[in-house]
Structure 1
C-alpha cells in the first residue's frame, strides 16, 4: 500500500547518516535536524557554489549567483563602514519585490545584523510603526516608500539607502543603492554568530490589530529551511513518476515568485531555498496574471507557488490550457486556505503536476505540516503530515489532547518557533505556553496522521449557542457557479448574540440574488448556517499581502453602510 511506502520513505530520510537525520534534544525533548546549518550566514553561503549559473530575472535585470554575491559583499561593506551597522543592530527593508531586496537581506546577515522586512503594501503609519518599534538603525527602501517616510526619516534621524534613485536629488540622509552596490569592496570586521542569536523580525499580517514583530533566531530559521528541504526530498521519494516527468523535460528548475518577500512564504520557502539549491527565480514586482503567463512561457518556468487567489486566476485563465503553461510542472499553495473546488481544479487540469500545499505561521517560521505530489492527489484538502521536527496537539491545551478525528485548537511545538514577540512579553507568554504555540487555528488529525485546518478560532460565529464555521460556509458558496471568492463573519445581534453575514464576489451576469445564495447554502448545510444577510461586491475582496481576507475591513464597511 502507498501509505506504507510513504512511511518507509519518511523513516529512511530521517534515519542515521541521512542529510535529514533527526535527533532529539536531551533537554525538553525537541526534535531537530542534526545537519542543519548553525546560522543563517552559513546556510546562505551554500549558494556561492552555483557560480555563473543564472539566479535572478526581474524586468530587464539578470543576475548570476556570482553577480548576486558580489553585490551582497559590496553592500555589506558599506553598511558596516559607512553606516556603522554592527552585529545585533536592526536594519529595515521596505520595497516591492526586486533583486535589491534580496541583496539587502543577505548583506544585512553578513554584518551579523537583524533584518526587519516591512510590509511594502503598508502606508506611512504601518511603515513608521515598524521602524520605530524595531529601533532600526538604517532603512533600505525604494522611491515610493521614501515618499511616504521622507519627513519621518529626518525627524527620526534615520539614514536610508534608496533603490532606483540613481541620478535623482535625494535628502541629505539618503544614499543611492546603486552606487553602494557597485562601490569598491570594503573589509568586514570578523563576527561570530551563535545559533540562538537574533536574525529576523517579521511583522505579522495585522488583519485584526497592530502588527507584532516576530523575533526569530538563526537556529529557528535554519531548522525551518532544513524542514522545507526535507519536504522536497520526501516529495521526490514518494512521487517518483511525477519527478521523472520534470527530469525528462530537461528544463532547469525555475520558480515564478509573485508573493511578497516580507512573509515567510516568500522569504524562506522561495528565496532562501532557491539561493541554497541553485534554482532560478523570476521575480514579479506585483501580481498580474497575464504578465505571469508571459514569464512562464518565455522563461520556461517550472514552478509556481502562490496564494489561492493567485492560483485561481492562473487556472481560470484561458492561457492555462494553452502551450503557455507547458513548462509548468509544480503548483504550490500557501498563505491562506484553499477551497475544495480550487484543489479539484488543479488535479483535473494538471493531473501529473506536483501539486502541494502546507501550513505554518510567521511565529513558526512557516513550518508545521506539508503535502505534495502523490500525497496531495490522495488528500488534497489536507495540509499533510506534520514535519518530522514538529509536534502537533489538538485540544483545549497541550495537556489535554483530543483523539484522532476530533476537531479543536491546534497547538504546535518545534525548534522553528519564534523567540518572542518583539518587546511584548505578555503577548509572547500568551502565544507560547510551555514551549507550545497557540496557533489560533481549528483543525483535526485523521487516523492516518494527516492534518486538516477547518477554521480560525476567531472565525467561529456563535449564533445562539450554535457554532458556525466561517470557512465551511465560504467553501460551500464557492461551489456555486460564478462565485469567485467569499467571506463569512459575525456581526453582533441583540437576540442571537451573533448573526452570520456573507460577502461574495461573483463573475456571473446577472449575479445571483440573496435568496438564491441562501437557498444554495440551505440545500447543503444546516439551516442555522444559512447567512442572515448577503452582500454582493463587484471588486476583489480586501486581502493582506499573504492572501488572507481582511474581514475587519469588510465588517466595518457593512456596519458603516
Structure 2
C-alpha cells in the first residue's frame, strides 16, 4: 500500500483527456467533471445500450433493460396524455422498493417533470406534507400508501396512479391502475429541451425543524454526482488491483442486492441510477430481512451489498455468512450512519477478499463528499476517505478562514453536486449555503494524508440505523398530547442501531402520560422508527439557557443512569 501510488492513480483519472477529466474554472468556484450528461434523461438513456441483459429482479418479476425502458416510455406517454403533464411540474412517488418505482422515476424525468420521492415508511402527516408542500400534480403510489392517504386524496381529487391493485378492486374515480396504463397503446412523448440547471428532484430530509425540508437538486448536480460515483469505482479498481482481479476471475456477473430505500440518495443515486448506467443487475428487496437477503445472495449470486451499519452487522452475525452461500459476494459497502470500529474490523477479517467501502455525503450534496474503498479501506477504515475530485472541503467556523489539517471543526463542502436550495424556504437555504459552500452541520477534520474524519455533528438529528430522525419533529408531535407541556428528544447509544431516541417530557404531576401512552401517540402520527426507545418524565420544567434553548446536555446527564 502506498499513498504515492494512490495519488498517481488519482491524477491519471482526472487528467486532461481522461473520461474523468476535472475542470477548474478560471474565475474560481467549484471544480467539475468535463464529461457528464447534460440532464438526467441523457444520463438515464445511457442504460438503453444494455438491451436484453437482465436488469431488475423483484419477487416474480424479471425485467431486461429493454423491457424496463419500454415500460418507462409507455408510462411517460400515458402521463402526458392523461394529465397533460408539463415540464417543471412535480410528480410524487410513494411506494416501497419495486420495479414500478424505478419505472416511474425515469418516466417522470422523460416528461421533464420534477420527481418527489416520499418516505414510504412515513405515516399520513409526513406523506401529506410532502405532497402538499411540493405542490405535486400527480401521485404514483402502492395500495398501502393509497389506504393511508385515500381520504385526503379524495378531497383534493389528486390524479393518482396506483401500483399493484387487483382488477376486481374498485379504485376511486381519481385513480388509474398502473398496470392498465402500461398495457395501453404506446403513446408518443414530446421531446423536451431540459436546461441542466432546471430542477430534477425534490428529496425530503429531516432537519432541525419540525417539518422535513425539500432538497431541490438540478439535473446538472445529479449528473455530476453520478460521474463522481463512477470515478470512485474506477479509482477503487485502479488502486486495488489484487482485489479487483479476484472479482474478475470469479466470473459472476455484477449483481447488487438492494435493500436500502429508493427515497434516499444512497438508494436512488449510488445503487439504482449507477446500476442502470453501468449495466449492473439489481435485486430489489421490498423490506429488509437478513435471512431473505442471504437467500437472495445465494440463489442469485449477488456480488455487491451496500447498506446501513445495522444491516451489515446482522449479515455478518449470521452463521451463513462466509460459507459457500455468500461465495459470490465480493463487494461490501456501508452508508447512512457511523460504524463502530468493531464492525469495520469484522468486515475486513470475515471477507478479506472483498472490496469494502464507505463514504460521506448528505442529501444536500446528492450523497457526494468523500469516499473510501478497497486497499484504502483496509488502510484507514474509520475515515470517510479522500474528498472526491470535484469536492472542496474546509474545516472551521468560516470556509473563507479554514483551519489547518488535523484541526477539528465544522465541515464545509463545495461542489457542483450541491442542492439548489430548500423548496420554498429561502431563509433556510441562505443559512445552509454561503457563497457556494454548504454548512454540513457535521464536525470533523482532515488528517495529514488528506483523509476526512467525521467526529460528530452539530445538527440535532438522531441517526437510528441509518435513518435520520429530527428531534424537533418528535418534540412537536408529542407536545400536542394532553398532559405534555414541554418535550426534548435526543440520541442515546444503542448497541445494534448505533443510536436510539430518548424523550424527556414535562407536565403537571398526575396528568403526564406514561411511556406506553406516549409511544402509542407518536406511533399513530409518525413512522415506527421514530418512536422513542425511552421516555422519561419530570415534574420540573426543562432546563434552558438565556436564549430559551433547552439544555439537552443537562438532560442527558440527569437521566444517564437509567438505561443509557
TM-score exceeds 0.5: yes
Render the CA deviation track for 1:76-103: whole Å, top value 9, x for unaligned.
0000011111111100000000000000
Render the CA deviation track for 1:408-448: whole Å, top value 9, x for unaligned.
11000000000010000000000001111000000010000
Q: Which residue of 1 aligns with 2:67?
A: 67
Q: Is 2:442–2:457's contact at 8 Å kept on the other side of the alignment?
A: yes
Q: Which residue of 2 aligns with 1:88?
A: 88
Q: Which residue of 2 aligns with 1:258?
A: 259
User: Structure 1 439/328 Cα, relative in aligned 2: closer, same or farther at 3 Å?
Assistant: same
Q: Is 1:306–1:332's contact at 8 Å kept on the other side of the alignment?
A: yes
Deviates more, 1:498-507 or 1:271-280: 498-507
Question: d(CA) in 2 for partners of 1:28 and 1:429?
Answer: 21
Q: Which residue of 1 aligns with 2:24?
A: 24
Structure 1 unaligned spans of 5+: 461-469, 475-486, 490-497, 508-534
Q: Please give the secondary structure, in 1, of the residue aligned with 2:389.
A: coil
User: Structure 1 84/358 Cα, relative in aligned 2: closer, same or farther at 3 Å?
Assistant: same
Q: Is 2:29–2:436's contact at 8 Å kept on the other side of the alignment?
A: no
User: Structure 1 154/251 Cα, relative in aligned 2: closer, same or farther at 3 Å?
Assistant: same
Q: Which residue of 1 aligns with 2:98?
A: 98
Count how many residue pairs are aligned between Structure 1 and Structure 2: 496
Render the CA deviation track for 1:186-205: whole Å, top value 9, x for unaligned.
01122101110110000003
Question: d(CA) in 1 for partners of 2:45 and 2:490?
Answer: 52
Map 1:140-539 to 2 at 5 A: 140-167=140-167, 168-206=169-207, 209-458=210-459, 502-504=492-494
User: Structure 1 436/206 Cα, relative in aligned 2: closer, same or farther at 3 Å?
Assistant: closer
Render the CA deviation track for 1:242-288: whole Å, top value 9, x for unaligned.
00000000000000000000000000000000000000000000000
Report how far residue 559 of structure 1 moved. 4.1
Question: d(CA) in 2 for partners of 1:409 and 1:384?
Answer: 17
Structure 1 residue 128 corresponds to structure 2 residue 106: no
Q: Please give the secondary structure, in 1, of the residue aligned with 2:42.
A: helix
What TM-score, normalized to structure 1? 0.84
Q: Is 2:199–2:218's contact at 8 Å kept on the other side of the alignment?
A: yes
Q: Is 2:74–2:181's contact at 8 Å kept on the other side of the alignment?
A: yes
Question: d(CA) in 2 for partners of 1:393 and 1:413?
Answer: 9
Structure 2 unaligned spans of 5+: 472-487, 498-514, 539-561
Question: d(CA) in 2 for partners of 1:349 and 1:275?
Answer: 30
Report how far residue 183 of structure 1 moved. 1.6
Q: Which residue of 2 aligns with 1:558?
A: 536
Q: Please give the secondary structure, in 2, of the residue aligned with 1:181.
A: helix
Q: Which residue of 1 aligns with 2:474?
A: none
Q: Is 2:91–2:138's contact at 8 Å kept on the other side of the alignment?
A: yes
What TM-score, normalized to structure 2? 0.84
User: Structure 1 559/324 Cα, relative in aligned 2: closer, same or farther at 3 Å?
Assistant: farther
User: Structure 1 294/207 Cα, relative in aligned 2: closer, same or farther at 3 Å?
Assistant: farther
Question: d(CA) in 1 for partners of 2:363 and 2:491?
Answer: 29
Q: Is 1:143–1:165's contact at 8 Å kept on the other side of the alignment?
A: yes
Q: Please give the secondary structure, in 2, of the residue aligned with 1:146.
A: helix
Question: d(CA) in 1 for partners of 2:428 and 2:373?
Answer: 34
User: Structure 1 80/502 Cα, relative in aligned 2: closer, same or farther at 3 Å?
Assistant: closer
Q: Please give the secondary structure, in 1, of the residue aligned with 2:270.
A: helix
Report how far residue 401 of structure 1 moved. 1.0
Report how far residue 71 of structure 1 moved. 0.3
Question: d(CA) in 1 for partners of 2:119 and 2:323?
Answer: 35
Q: Is 1:200–1:215's contact at 8 Å kept on the other side of the alignment?
A: yes
Question: d(CA) in 2 for partners of 1:76 and 1:288?
Answer: 33
Q: Please give the secondary structure, in 1, of the residue aligned with 2:338.
A: coil
Q: Is 1:410–1:438's contact at 8 Å kept on the other side of the alignment?
A: yes
Render the CA deviation track for 1:210-231: whole Å, top value 9, x for unaligned.
1100000000000000000000
Deviates more, 1:174-183 or 1:10-19: 174-183
User: Structure 1 403/73 Cα, relative in aligned 2: closer, same or farther at 3 Å?
Assistant: same
Q: Is 1:92–1:138's contact at 8 Å kept on the other side of the alignment?
A: yes
Q: Is 1:225–1:268's contact at 8 Å kept on the other side of the alignment?
A: yes
Report how far residue 28 of structure 1 moved. 3.7
Question: d(CA) in 2 for partners of 1:99 and 1:500?
Answer: 36
Q: Which residue of 2 aligns with 1:520?
A: none
Q: Is 2:43–2:277's contact at 8 Å kept on the other side of the alignment?
A: yes
Question: d(CA) in 2 for partners of 1:367 and 1:325?
Answer: 29
Question: d(CA) in 2 for partners of 1:382 and 1:208?
Answer: 29
Question: d(CA) in 1 for partners of 2:183 and 2:389?
Answer: 43
Deviates more, 1:229-238 or 1:391-400: 391-400
